[in-house]
Every structure is written in structure tokens, then in C-alpha cells.
Amino acid sequence: DGGITQSPKYLFRKEGQNVTLSCEQNLNHDAMYWYRQDPGQGLRLIYYSQIVNDFQKGDIAEGYSVSREKKESFPLTVTSAQKNPTAFYLCASSFDSRYGYTFGSGTRLTVV
């Protein structure tokens, strides 16, 4: 079955550490997106990529980095520069926004 997979489901980070969240899709979608969701709030765009080897900053890119070396994969690194990383992270993919997004099940990141 085609879909989008995020791992891990839960992730704990110590202060000063970098952590990488995985996002893989087998839908043959060109575009991929990372969003952050804080409790009781909507989604805020971190980074997005419309084609391999190219990506753009979203509204809250500071403290995050991404790569898009393969069409199927769009990993997100939360760096130590991100001062408040505790949140629910959602990855999505699409042919483009005219057709709607397919979302992964999310990664909940907690700083300990």
C-alpha cells in the first residue's frame, strides 16, 4: 500500500542535541512538507520541497534543517539552535497543493 511513514513516533532530546526525524513516502509525490503543531493550535510550515535537491524555508525555519537527496525521503533535523523544540511534527507529501496532501502519523518530540 502506498503511504507516508514517519519515524520514530516518539522522540526525546536532551538539551544541546541535534535530532533527525525521518519521513519516507512511496506515493511518487514530487512535493514534501514539514509542519510543526503545538498543543491546541494549527500547523505552521517549517520547510518544503517541490523537487529533489531543492527546498524552501517556511514560516518557522530557524533552528531546523532539511535535505532532499531522494524523491522518497525528506528528513528534518532539529538543531540545538531551536530553543523550544517540544512539539508534534507532521510530514506531508503531494503531487502539488491542487490535489491535497497526504500526511504521516507524526513524531512527538520532547526535550528532557
Partner 1 sequence: SQQGEEDPQALSIQEGENATMNCSYKTSINNLQWYRQNSGRGLVHLILIRSNEREKHSGRLRVTLDTSKKSSSLLITASRAADTASYFCATGPYNQGGKLIFGQGTELSVKP
Residues in contact with partner 1 by CB under 8 A are 6, 31, 33, 35, 41-45, 48, 50, 56, 58-59, 88, 90, 92, 94, 96-106, 108
Q: Which is nearer to partner 1, 80 or 108 (CB)?
A: 108
Q: How far is the CB of 14 from partner 1 (least distance, A)?
A: 24
Q: In terms of Cα–Cα distance, which of 20, 101, 25 is closest to 65? A: 20
Q: Which is nearer to partner 1, 17 or 51 (CB)?
A: 51
Q: Which is nearer to partner 1, 19 or 55 (CB)?
A: 55
Round to whole Å and give the CA distance between 16 and 26.
33
User: At 97, is the secondary structure helix, strand, or coil?
Assistant: helix
Q: How far is the CB of 81 from partner 1 (least distance, A)?
A: 22
Q: How far is the CB of 106 from partner 1 (least distance, A)?
A: 5
Instruction: Report angle CA 9, 13, 14 to the nearest 5 degrees.
Output: 165
Grid coordinates given for 101 = 496532501
Q: Which is nearer to partner 1, 18 or 105 (CB)?
A: 105
Grid coordinates given for 53 = 535537491
